[in-house]
Amino acid sequence: MSLRRMLRVITALVLLMPLVPLVGAGTAAAQASPQADRHHARQLLFFNHLYAVLDRETADAIEDSAYLRRFANFQVRTTTGSNGEVWTGRYLLGRETYLELFGVGDLPGQDAQFGSSGLGLSTENAGDLTTVRQRLVDLGTTPIDFEQTRDFGDGVPIPWFDALFTTTAYDKFSPWAMEYRPEYFADPRSGTEPASHPGDVGRERYLNDDYRTHLMHDVTSVRLAVTQRDLDSTVPLLRAGGFSVHHLGSTVIATHGGTTIRLDPTTADAAGLRRVTMSLNHPVWYRHVEHLGRSTLTVGPGSYAVWSFPAP
């Protein structure tokens, strides 16, 4: 969900915090060849979901698509979060990961703009978010804490997850670290699964198993165009989560988290989602091309699908 909407509750003093510079992104060595930087050995954060604001034509085509309802565990649903914030998204749910897609104007304020996006990275074990927080401090970043709640319609919000941001100043892209709360798993309305081990707050437990009756299995890679300011504030979070951060010129590629994340610097006007790759539950022998507004979803041949979104 668009967590940046909830950052309005953070004080103006926090809004003035300086950003942490992207280490090595502007050096001659980084421009000449790829460089890898892994600050921490143990992986604590994993790709949870991506949200993106698309043009209205594409968002409407996705919402009305009969093919997507066969391809994935597809839902259109409305959620009420903290401070009464309400949003309606189009969801493609996999085994551990998912996509959350909006159209221009679906979200309030700045987040309603075409090209806005966000990235949720979550823990698998209770307490790991505390370690991520300390890693951010060790990297010279002051984490910003947030608690998200969810209202299932009775007007009584319950804790949903805890989150960490590296900054409240953004252009069009905001990442966050998150850890699901035990109260959410304990509520039968959440539809979540039993724990597979003590302290299990993982993604597979959070999502149901309806993906098994469809073709889409999980999100394996994402590519976004973001401003340099948004890129700079993202790198510390990736490093604190245990990702291997590679610098390919000014582009950043994060690996070792199950899903490859590529962030290409651009201007604010050109920012947005560019490409998503998804694994399939089983290989297909054919090649299916589905045009959804201005985007193109290509499924097969083989065990993957690629969804491309053009630049403005």
* pLDDT at residue 251 is higher than 50: yes
Question: Which strands make up the sheet holding 86-93, listed edge to edge?
Answer: 73-80, 86-93, 98-103, 46-54, 117-122, 173-180, 158-165, 144-150
Q: How many domains does the chain have?
A: 1
Residue 12 lies in a domain: no
Q: Which residue in this structure is represented by tokens 């050096």?
A: 27
Confidence of residue 39 (pLDDT cuts 50, 70, 90): low
Strand partners, 251: 248
Q: What is the pLDDT of residue 120?
A: 98
Candidate from 13-17, 120-124, 215-219, 292-296 with smallest mean pLDDT: 13-17
Q: Is the pLDDT of residue 186 over 70?
A: yes
Cβ count within 10 A of residue 176: 23
* 291: β partners: 296
With respect to residue 140, please indicate whether it lies within any of the assigned structural domains.
yes
- Residues 267, 271, 275: CA angle, nearest 5 degrees: 135
Residue 3 has pLDDT above 70, yes or no: no
Query: Considering the domain boundaries, does residue 30 fall inside one?
Result: no
End-to-end C-alpha distance for the chain, whole angstroms? 23
Bridge partners of 305, per DSSP, are: 278, 299
Tokens (6 digits) for 227:
């401003």
Residue-level pLDDT at 155:
86
Q: Which amino acid is at 178?
A: M
Is the pLDDT at 241 greater than 60, yes or no?
A: yes
- 212 in a domain, yes or no? yes
Q: What percent of the chain is modeled with pLDDT above 70?
A: 87
CB–CB of 172/115 below 8 Å?
yes
Asked, for residue 15, whether it belongs to a domain, the answer is no
H or E stretch at 305: strand 302-308
Which range marks the domain in which residue 98 is found?
A: 35-308
Residue 22 covered by a domain: no
Indicate whether 133 belongs to any domain.
yes
Dist CA 246 CA 39 (whole Å)? 12
Asked if the structure places residue 50 within a domain, the reply is yes
